[in-house]
Amino acid sequence: MATNARTVRVFPFSQLLTHLVLLVGAFCMLYPLLWMIGSSFKPDSEIFTELNPIPRSLDLTNYIRGWVLGTGTSFTTFYFNSFVVCAGAIIGNLLSCSLAAYAFARIRFRLRGMWFAIMLGTLMLPFHVTVVPQYIIFNSLGWTNTFLPLVVPKFFAVDAFFIFLMVQFIRGIPIELEQAAMVDGCNRFQIFTKIIMPLLGPALVTTTIFTFIWTYNDFFSQLLYLSTENHYTVSLGLRLFLDASGQSAWGPMFAMTTLSLVPVILVFAFFQRRLVEGIATTGLKG
Amino acid sequence: MAKQEDLEAAGSARRLTRRTILVGAGALAVSPLLSGVSFAQDATTMRLSWWGSDDRHKKTLALIQLFQSKHPGLTITPEYGGFVGYQDKLSTQFAGGNAPDVMQVAEPGPLIASGRLLALDDYIAAGTIDVSNASKSVLETAKVNGKQYSVPWGLACGCYFLDNQVFEDAKVDIPDYGWTWDEYAKVAKSLSKPGFYGSADIWAAAGTRSLAALEVFLRERQKYAFTPEGKIGFGPDELTEWFTFWDELRKAGAVPPGEVTALETGFETSPIITGKAAMYPINSSIASSLQGLTKHKLTVAPFPTGVGSTALKGDQYGAFVNSSMQIYINVDAKDKDLAAAFVNFVLNDPEAAKIQLMARGVPASSKIAELVTPNISPVEQSMVATVKYVADHASPGFVPWPKQGSEVQDLMQRSHQAVAFEQASIADTVSQFFDQAGQILG
């Protein structure tokens, strides 16, 4: 730290330069996003004809036109659906992944190593391999065009990534805590709810955030299982504006895309510190 | 430690019972859902699936309302969304035995080959689907192994979009529909000035117009991109002539150099929108979308002809009409007669046409197209007139592209690019094209 402070004093320009380079880099990376936000305030006929991304006025027409579609469905429905699916997925992942992780981390059962390896192996299974069999199962259950195929699997600990995250975390918790609880007469389930769950906090926050972002951004499985507009989520709603043949609506599409970023950015901004915490603490113990 | 083992055993036993209870509860929860579904299927229902934009969704929903009002007791379930992922979803639905009854299909080839789509010939023969007012040559293009699996849900043709503002400012007349390649070159040159080009190039980094546009020229000489046996249907002479025509225009500054054309990532960023060119070749079906992107008034003109031209000379009309969208029926549709009635309804019903307008291109029935012309925007009216002109003048004959057609299309794009960027001479590019095309087609 001391050397750093001295370096700054001796070369004040080098830090200035670093910041300048970083700012220019950040601007370049953010330019497409800024272009989109700028375009969301322009009429269609100016979006691609004018190079300047800054709109002439803060015209909200696109936002008003985009919110309620020509078919009568509005983004209120899409946001509601997205949040319902996200909430279901988050609850499912928190309950089931923590249970599975606890079992893998603490309970000795036959072939535990093998089951753990298989569980991790599902991480490497491409999504497309399982699509058709899954679709056939959910279709024969009569679950297509409901939220069930998107939520119910989450209650069966299918997200191996989160299980792995929590296993690593639980392994870092001193076993003495559990032994002490056992001496006090706790059974397995009580140990899990009274000792492990409260200590698992940072890992649960990480799981919540990632599940939210991944579910909110998911497109294909939602497209596959949701067929009618009243069941559509935000990511499906955004696809309703454009088609080359026929009439496209770029302005409203950019406006709604801009709005759709708000929940993700909010979640990230509020939980950013805890997110880093969760990953850092799980990474400490191997 | 022994105590812990005991505890584990007890815990797992308890969890087992809990799991059993959960499964039982789950099955109970599901059973009413299942019965609900089977009840729903007893009523007359039909599922209709399509992709498109908001405008098309709105019009198609109104179309469904109208059809339902004519068939009391029928409920049509609409399933729609954007183009991205549409075909993946449809393929999965077919694999899962849960595909819609009537639908648009993005890639019909594999579905026809695996027998998932219904051949409509019997319905056409019986008159349930009336195609008497639809273009015979377009119907012909939709045939696979001699069977009609679809009818066009809209027509389109290759065309030039013209920026009227530029024509007016330069005091150049908008060309007649019957313009020749000579006239095209003249107009392109007279509209050019430094940094501005009379016309966009015939190749583009995105899109598919390279080989399709060449086919317009080939048809002037009764040739096609491919032979019926799936080989290349033209010779080095024609390709050299084609490349040379465009190369001369490029050198004269009438079409943009390679680096300008390469910036086009789609029609949104085409030179006619970014203000770099006055004429733009593409499929007519994008008329409304393209007009929405610019304040300049656009009109549509057919591709130029080689009849009576010195450049790209030919002895018959080359441009042709194709379907912009087709409608298909599932081979396992619950009520095939009803599905066929719906197909006939979208094709021939005048009230339906007034709802659909140009949501899927120019109506396939010429009578219907005429009927709705007063209700549409100026650029769409000029699109309808262009498609009609081309349909009236098109020469018969059609050779479907083989499976590897799109690979040859990509090769043509790369070859044209090599000439435009002056990476290779025209002679070398042509001989390379035939070598590589031969390899692709086996």
**pLDDT tens-place values along chain A, 286 residues long:** 444 544 545 567 888 899 999 999 999 999 999 999 999 999 888 888 887 888 888 888 899 988 998 888 899 999 999 999 999 999 999 999 999 999 999 888 888 889 999 999 988 888 888 888 999 999 999 998 999 999 999 999 899 999 999 998 888 888 888 888 889 888 888 899 888 888 888 888 889 989 999 999 999 999 999 988 899 999 999 988 887 666 788 899 999 999 999 999 998 888 877 766 665 555 444 3
Q: Is the pLDDT of residue B85 over 80?
A: yes
Q: Which of B348, B364, B386 is the last residue of a domain?
A: B348
Give the structural domain span for B220.
156-321+397-441
pLDDT of residue B13: 38
Residue B36 scores a pLDDT above 60: no
Are both B144 and B274 inside the same structural domain? no
pLDDT band at B247 (very low <50, low <70, confident <90, very high): very high
Residues of A in contact with B80 (CB under 8 A): 229, 240
- Chain A hits for B1, CB-CB cut-off 8 Å, are none
> Tell me, what's the pLDDT at B340?
95
B233 assigned to some structural domain: yes
* CA atoms of B134 and B155, how far apart (whole Å): 10
Q: Give the ranges where chain A is alpha helix by DSSP (H).
A: 2-10, 12-39, 44-47, 61-67, 75-106, 112-121, 127-140, 148-151, 160-171, 175-183, 188-191, 197-199, 201-217, 220-225, 234-237, 250-284
Interface test with A, best of B57, B283, B300 (most A CBs within 10 A): B57
Q: Which residue has the higher pLDDT, A248 or B193?
A: B193
What local confidence, expressed as pLDDT, does residue B207 receive? 63
**Chain A partners of B61 at a C-beta cutoff of 8 Å?**
71
Q: Which residue of B has its CA nearest to A69?
A: B54
pLDDT of residue B263: 87
pLDDT at B38: 38
Q: Is B158:B148 a contact under the CB 8 Å cutoff?
A: no
ipTM score over 0.90, yes or no: no
Determine contact: B7 vs chain A, CB below 8 A.
Answer: yes
Give the chain B residue nearest A239 (alpha carbons): B82
For residue A202, the model assigns a pLDDT of 84
pTM: 0.83
Q: Give B-chain residues touching A219 at CB under 8 angstroms.
A: 84-85
Query: Does B360 fall in a domain?
Result: no
- Tell whether B139 is covered by a domain: yes
- List CB contacts (< 8 A) between A220 and chain B: 85, 88
- Residues in A touching B84 (Cβ below 8 Å): 219, 239
**A vs B: CB pairs below 8 A:** 165
Instruction: Indicate if B49 and B173 belong to the same structural domain.
Output: no
**Positions of E strands within B194-351:** 197-199, 277-283, 298-302, 321-323, 326-329
B12 part of a folded domain: no
Considering the domain boundaries, does residue B179 fall inside one? yes
pLDDT for res A175: 86
Considering only CB atoms, B52 lies closest to which of A143, A229, A246, namely A246
Q: What is the pLDDT at residue A276?
A: 66
- Identify whether residues B254 and B343 lie together within a single domain: no
CA atoms within 13 A on the CB side of A156: 11
Asked whether residue B168 falls in the same domain as residue B231, the answer is yes
pLDDT at position B314 over 60: yes
CA distance B430 to chain A (A): 32
Can you say whether residue B329 is alpha, beta or left, with left for phi > 0 and alpha for psi between -120 and 50 degrees? Answer: beta
Could you give the CA distance from residue B50 to residue B81 in angstroms, rounded to a whole number? 7
B28 domain residue, yes or no: no
Does residue B385 fall inside a structural domain? no
In DSSP terms, B109 is beta-bridged to none
Please state, in angstroms and rounded to a whole number, the distance separating the CA atoms of residues B427 and B431.
Answer: 6
CB contact under 8 A, A182 and B53: no
Who among A109, A243, A250 is closest to B56 (CB)? A243
Do B434 and B287 reside in the same domain of the chain? Answer: yes
Question: A119 in the Ramachandran plot: left (φ > 0), alpha (ψ -120 to 50) or beta?
Answer: alpha
Residues of B in contact with A46 (CB under 8 A): 295
Would you place residue B12 in the very low, low, confident or very high pLDDT band (cuts 50, 70, 90)? Answer: very low
Asked if residue B229 and residue B142 are part of one domain, the reply reads: no
- For residue B328, the SS3 value is strand
Mean pLDDT for the stretch of residues B104-128: 92
- At B318, the pLDDT band (50, 70, 90 cuts) reads very high
Q: Is B266 left (phi over 0), alpha (psi -120 to 50) or beta?
A: left
Query: Do B305 and B342 share a domain, yes or no?
Result: no
Same domain, B266 and B233: yes
| Cross-strand partners of B143 | B148
pLDDT of residue B337 exceeding 70, the answer is yes
Asked if B107 and B215 sit in the same domain, the reply is no
The CATH number linked to B192 is 3.40.190.10
Q: Is B325 on the interface with A (CB under 8 A)?
A: yes
**B98 contacts in chain A (CB < 8 Å):** 135, 139, 144
Q: Which domains does chain A have, with CATH numbers?
A: 75-284 (1.10.3720.10)
Are B7 and A187 inside 8 Å of each other by CB? yes
Return the beta strands (E) in B308-368 as ranges.
Answer: 321-323, 326-329
Say yes or no for a CB contact (<8 Å) between B285 and A245.
yes
Q: Encode A245-269 in three state secondary structure.
A: CCCCCHHHHHHHHHHHHHHHHHHHH
Q: In Å, what is the CA distance from B206 to each residue of A48, A115, B407? A: 16, 48, 14
B252 CA: distance to closest CA in chain A (Å)? 26
Q: Are residues B239 and B91 in the same domain?
A: no
Q: Give A103 to chain B, closest Cα distance, Å.
A: 10
Please give the pLDDT value at position A13.
81
Mean pLDDT of B230-249: 94
CA distance A232 to B229: 46
Whether B332 and B304 share a structural domain: no
Considering the domain architecture, whether residues B240 and B132 belong to the same structural domain is answered as no
Which tokens is A99 given?
């249970």
Greatest pairwise CA separation for chain B in angstroms: 100
Residue B9 maps to a domain: no
Number of domains forming the structure of chain B: 2
Contact A240 B361 (CB under 8 A): no
Joined together, the tokens standing for residue B393 give 């003048």
B437-441 long-range contacts, CB within 8 A, separation 24+: B437/B232, B437/B408, B437/B411, B438/B232, B440/B404, B440/B407, B440/B408, B440/B411, B441/B230, B441/B231, B441/B232, B441/B402, B441/B404, B441/B408
